[in-house]
Amino acid sequence: MAYTVTINGETREIDAPEDMPLLWVLRQELGMVGTKFGCGIGMCGACTVHVDGQATRSCSLPIGSVGDRQITTIEHLSQSPVGQALQQAWLDEDVMQCGYCQSGQLMSATALLNRNPNPSETEINSAMQGNICRCACYTRISRAIAQVAAEGTANV
Amino acid sequence: MFEAGIATSRRSFLKVTALAGGGLTLAASFPMAARAVAGEAAATAELNAFVTINPDNTITIVGKNPEIGQGIKTMLPMLIAEELDADWDQVRIVQGDSNAAKYGPQLAGGSFATPMNWIPMRQTGAAARAMLLAAAAQRWGVPAGELSTEPSVVVHASSGRRATYGELASDAAHVAVPDPASIQLKDGADFRIIGRAIGGIDSPKIVRGEGIFGVDTQLPGMVYAAYERSRVFGARLVSADIEAAKAAPGVINAFTVEGNGNAAELVDGVAIIASNWWLANKARERLNPQWDTGEWAGHSSAKYDADARALMAAGQPQEEFASKGDVDAALASATQVIEGEYSYPFLAHVAMEPMNCTALMREDGVMEMWAPTQIPQGGQASVAAYLGVPQDKVLVHITRMGGGFGRRLNNDYMMQVAAIARRMPGTPVQLIWSREDDVRTDYYRPAGWHKLRAGLDADGKIIGIEDHFVTFDINGGAFNPAAMPADEFPARYVSNVRYAQTKMRTAVPMGALRAPTSNAVAFVFQSFLDEVAHASGRDLPTLLLDIVEGAEPEPSTMGFTGPSAGFDPRRLRAVTRKVMEMANWGQPVAEGRALGFGYYYSHQGYFAEVVEASLTDRNQVAVHNVWCAGDVGAHIINPHGAMNQVEGSIIDGIGQALQLAVEIEGGAAKQSNFNNYQLPRMPMTPVIHAEFVLSDNSPTGLGEPALPPVIPALTNALFALTGKRVRNLPIDTSLFT
Ligand code: FES
Ligand code: FES
C-alpha cells in the first residue's frame, strides 16, 4: 500500500503493508533511526513520537492509521524551544548511561511540558512511568524535567 | 568466554606482578610504536595506537573498550588525556575496532576496566607527552628537563617559548618511543581531568537522535533477519515450513541453520531474511517449526525448587568446596543455632537495546561485523572458528550498546548473523531479536538455594557456619556464574566452616548478570547475618564490625581470579561507619517506616547501604530513601559516570528484590516481555544519598559493586518493619499480611 504521511513537517511517500507499525517505517523504510525499538508492545516507551503533539508509541501505531496527522520524531526535537531546553538539561544533568531509552524519554518529557509547563513531582512521575530506563537514570530524568520547568521555557 | 578473554589478554599484554605487600599490580605493554604520516611540517601524527595529534591542535584519542552505558568511552580517554596534559576541549574520541594486537584487552565486564587500565592508559598518555617534550627540546636546543606543559602546549618558561602540540606533532612522531614504565606519572594532587565531572562523550548525539547504536547501523543494500529458535532449551530442530515463510510479504530468503554444538554460541534455528525486520519477524508465524525437546520439556522452576528443597532436607551435599575446623562439633556445642533456607530465581538481563548484529560477507573473504558486544575479541574468535578462517578475516567494529549487564558477554547473536551472512555474500544483513527472543533465550542469572546454619557461643560469637548450596551443573568455563566463592564472608573470620554444594542438571542457559554471584549471595548471607545479629542482641552493622574486629588486610586467595588486591577489613569498617552516620542509624525513623542495613564487597568495591522502607495500605513495598557509602579507591575518575552507576545499581537491585523473576515452565521461559518482566519505573525511585569514601588504594570499577548490598538492606528493613524474614526472592508481600 502507498501512503502519504507528514513527518517532521515533510511529506513522505511510503509503500508498506497497512499494518506495519510506524516504528519500522521510520527506522527501516525511511532510515530515521533516532526512534528506538524496545519491546514492540507499547510497554517501554523507547519508540515514543509525537502524533499531533501527543506522546504516542510508534511500535503500536500501524502506518495505515496515521492519516493526515502530524508526526514529530526525535530528529526534529530541537526545532521546539521546550525540546531544545530539555536536550540541554539532559546534557547538563548528564542524565544518561547507555542512552538507548533517551529519545523516547525526551519525547515524553516534551509532550508533558507542552501541555503542563509546571508539573509537580507526581505529575512528572505519572507522565513518565510509561518510559522504561533499564539503566535506571530516573532521578536525573526527573531532575532535568524539573529544571526546565523551573526555567519556564515552556511558558514562553 | 568471559575469563577466556582475560586469560588471552593477560598472556599477551599484561604482566601480573606480585607486590611486596601481597597485592597485585598490572603492568601493561601496549604497542607504543609511533606511526607518523611523514612529510610536511604540520601533519597528523599517530604517536601511538591511542593518541593522534592533529595539526589543528585537536587530539584524537581511541576509546578501546566497548561502551555499554558504563561511561568507559569517556573515562579511559580521560586517563590518557590527563597524563598527556591535553586540553580536554580539543580532544575527540573514537571507538577502536576489536584488535587485541593493537589495543590489548577490550572487555566490558567484571568492573575490570578501571583496575586494569588505571596505569596502562596513563602511561600511554605520558609516553606521548614525553615525545612532544623531546620534539620541543630538539627544536629549541634546550634540555627536555627545562620544559613543562600547559594543556596542549609545551612551554619553555625561562625563554618564554611556547609551541602547541599540533605544531610539534610531526616532529614528535620521529622521536624515539620512550619506555612507558620509565616515565614518572603525575601526582594525584596535580590531576586536572581525572576527578572532573565530564558528561558522556556521545550524549549530544543521543539527545539529537543520531544513530550510534548497533541496531542503528545502516549499510547500502542491507536486509534484515529474524532467527526462530526453540523456546524449550536444549532442543534440536526437526522441521520447519521454509517455503511458507518464503512466500510471506517482503521475505527475501529463509533457511535452516544448524547449531555448532555449543549452546553458548549457536543453536539450531531458522533464519528469515526480509526487506524490513518487521516483515521477517512476522513471517515466523508461518514456520510451524517442530523441535525435538528430549527430556528438557519436563523441566520447570517448580521442579527445580522441589528438588532443591528435598536435597537440602536430605542434607547430603555432593561436594565441599570450603572446609576448616570441625563444624559439627562447633554446632553441637553452640549455645544457639540459627538456621535459614534462602532462594532466588533466574533473572534476565533485558538490556534496553535488543540483541542485534550486522554482518557483511565481503568478496575478499573478510566477514565484516558491526557488533554490540561486551567481549568483541571473544566474538571475533568464535566467528572465525565457526567459519574456519583466521581471526584477521573477521573484522569487528565495536558499536555503542544500549546496555549490557553481562548479556553481551555471550556472542550468540554474532554467531547467528555470521551463519546467515555467509550464505548471502555481498549483502549486508542485520539480525535483530524481538524482546520476546531476548527474554526467552537469555543466559540467565542462575537460580539458587542455600540452607545455612550458624552456631553462636554464649557471647554471641559465631563459632561455626555451614551452607548447603544447591545450584546447577552448567558446565561453565573458567567463570561459572552458578558457583559461589569459597571464602564467602564471614568464612575467614570463623574457625569452623563448611560450604558445600549439590548441582542439579538443566538445559537452561546461564551467564553473568551485573555483579554475578554477588547479586544473589549478598542477599543470602547479609540476611542470614541479620538473623544472627538479632539472635545475639545486636544490629547487623555492629555484628559486622565485631566480626572483623582487629582483623588485618589479607591477600585474595580463594575463588576470585580478577586483578584482586585482597580483602581489607579497614575498608569494610569505614563504609559501614560512614553509612550509619549518613542514615542516622539507630535514631528513630518516621512512623510506619523502618531501616535495614546491607554490606557487600565485590569487584574490589566495598559498599554499605541503608534502605528506608514502608508498606502501603495495599501491602506494597515502598522504598523512600537509600543511603550508600562506597569505597573504590583514592580517586573517582569521572564523578558524573560514577554516581550514575551507583544510582542505577541501587534501583536495579531494588527492582530485582521486588518484582523480577524468570520462571521455567515446560522447559521454556514463561516471561516474554516488559508486561510480565516488570522493570523498575520512575514512580518507584527512592531518594538516593550516595557518597564515596576515598581510601589509599588505586581506583577500581563501579559497574557492579553498589548493587548487591541494596537487596539485603531492603529485606532487612522489611524484617525490622514487620518481624517477617524474607527468605525467597522476589519478595512475596503476602508474607506481611
Ligand atoms: S517499543 Fe514501543 S513501547 Fe516499547
Ligand atoms: S540510559 Fe540506558 S536504558 Fe535509559
Burial class (CB in 10 A: 0-12, 13-18, 19+), B220: exposed
Atom of ligand 1 nearest to the CA of A47: 2
**What is the ipTM, given to two decimal places?**
0.97
Domains of chain A, by residue range, sit at 2-74, 76-155
Give pTM, 2 decimals.
Answer: 0.94
Give residue ranges with CB within 6 A of ligand 2.
Answer: A 96-102, 133-135, 137; B 69, 352, 403
For position B15, what pLDDT does the model report?
A: 29
Query: Which of B387, B428, B367, B420 has its CA nearest to residue B253?
Result: B420
B265, B318: one domain: no
Query: What tens digit of pLDDT does each residue of A37-85 get?
Result: 999 999 999 999 999 999 999 999 999 999 999 999 999 999 999 999 9
> Do B114 and B251 lie in a common domain?
no
Query: The domain spanning residue B539 has which CATH number?
Result: 3.30.365.10
By CA distance, what is A29's nearest residue in B?
A: B276
Residue B40 has pLDDT above 90, yes or no: no
pLDDT score, position B35:
47
Instruction: Name the residue facing B207 among A32, A106, A128 (closest C-beta).
Output: A106
Do B458 and B576 lie in one domain? The reply is yes
* Residues B403, B476 share a domain: no
Residue B304 has pLDDT above 80, yes or no: yes
Q: Select from B233, B298, B299 the least CA-distant residue to B267.
A: B233
Beta strand segments in B64-166, E: 91-95, 147-150, 153-156, 161-164
Q: Which of A57, A56, A48, A38 is nearest to A134 (CA)?
A: A38
> What per-residue confidence (pLDDT) applies to B556?
53
Contacts of B434 in chain A (CB under 8 A): 40
> Do the Cβ atoms of B625 and B613 come closer than 8 Å?
no
CB B436 within 8 A of CB B673: yes
Q: Domain range for residue B38?
A: 2-207
CA B119 to chain centre: 20
Average pLDDT over residues B679-683: 98
pLDDT 10s digits, B54-79: 989 999 999 999 999 999 999 999 99
Q: Is residue B613 part of a domain?
A: yes
SS3 B217: coil
The answer to whether residues B512 and B378 touch, using CB atoms and an 8 Å cutoff, is no
Centre of ligand 2 to C-alpha B352, Å, is: 7
B572, burial (CB in 10 Å: exposed 0-12, middle 13-18, buried 19+)? buried
Q: Are residues B289 and B188 in the same domain?
A: no
Instruction: Please state, in angstroms and rounded to a whole number, the distance separating the CA atoms of residues B187 and B204.
Output: 32
Share above pLDDT 90 across residues of chain B, in percent, rounded to a whole number: 84
**pLDDT band of B110, cuts 50, 70, 90:** confident
| B338/B368 same-domain check | no
Is the pLDDT confidence value at B520 over 70? Answer: yes
Please say if the pLDDT value at position B4 is more than 60: no
Helices B540-547 and B569-582 meet at what angle, rounded to 10? 160
Give the model's confidence band at B555: pLDDT under 50 very low, under 70 low, under 90 confident, else very high: low
Residue among B219, B327, B242, B224 nearest B289 (CA): B242
Same domain, B588 and B511: yes
How many Å lie between the centroid of ligand 2 and the Cα of residue B424?
Answer: 34
- Residues in A touching B199 (Cβ below 8 Å): 91, 94
Measured CA to CA, the distance from residue A61 to residue B622 in angstroms comes to 34
Q: With 0-12 CB in 10 A as exposed, 13-18 as middle and 19+ as buried, what is B194?
A: buried
Query: Which of B207, B229, B245 is where one domain is finished?
Result: B207
Q: What is the dihedral of CA B635, B636, B637, B638, to 10 degrees?
A: -160
Which H or E run includes B374?
none
Whether A134 is in the pocket of ligand 1, judged by its Cβ within 6 Å, is no
Written as nine digits, the cell of B402 is 544500549
Q: B93: which 3 cell numbers?
A: 574520541
A138 touches chain B (CB under 8 A): yes
Identity of the residue in B211, B645, B652 whose CB atom sits nearest the CB atom of A33: B211
pLDDT for the residue B395: 98
* In the predicted structure, residue B220 carries a pLDDT above the cut 70: yes
Residue B570 in domain: yes
pLDDT at position B564 over 50:
no
Number of domains chain B is built from: 3
Check whether residue B22 and residue B107 sit in a common domain: yes
Domain identity same for B120 and B46: yes
Residue B32 confidence class, pLDDT cut points 50, 70, 90? very low
Which run of H or E residues covers position B370? strand B367-371
**Superfamily covering domain A76-155:** [2Fe-2S]-binding domain (1.10.150.120)
Q: Are residues B14 and B59 in the same domain?
A: yes
Model pLDDT, residue B240? 98
Chain B residues within 8 A of A39 when measuring between CB atoms: 435, 673-674
- In the structure grid, which three cell numbers stand for residue B193, read together? 581531568
Same domain, B322 and B428: no
Say which CATH superfamily domain A2-74 falls into: Beta-grasp domain (3.10.20.30)
- Is some CB atom of chain B closer than 8 A to the CB atom of A129? yes
Distance CA B377, CA B357 (A): 15
**A129:B435 CB<8 A:** no
Q: Are B353 and B403 in contact (CB under 8 A)?
A: yes
- The stretch B362-370 carries a mean pLDDT of 98
Q: Quickly state the pLDDT bin for B176 (edges 50, 70, 90).
A: confident
- Chain A contact for B278, CB < 8 A? yes
The atom of ligand 1 lying closest to the CA of A39 is 4
Q: Work out the mean pLDDT of chain B and round it to a whole number.
A: 91
Using most ligand atoms within 8 A of CB, pick from B70, B349, B352, B514 the residue to mutate for ligand 2: B352
Q: What are phi and psi of B534, to 5 degrees?
A: -60, -40
B12 vs B355, which has greater pLDDT? B355
B553 pLDDT above the threshold of 90: no
What value does the mean pLDDT take over residues B43-52?
Answer: 85
- pLDDT of amino acid B112: 82
Do the domain assignments include residue B71?
A: yes
Residue B439 belongs to a domain: no
Residues B243 and B203 in one domain: no
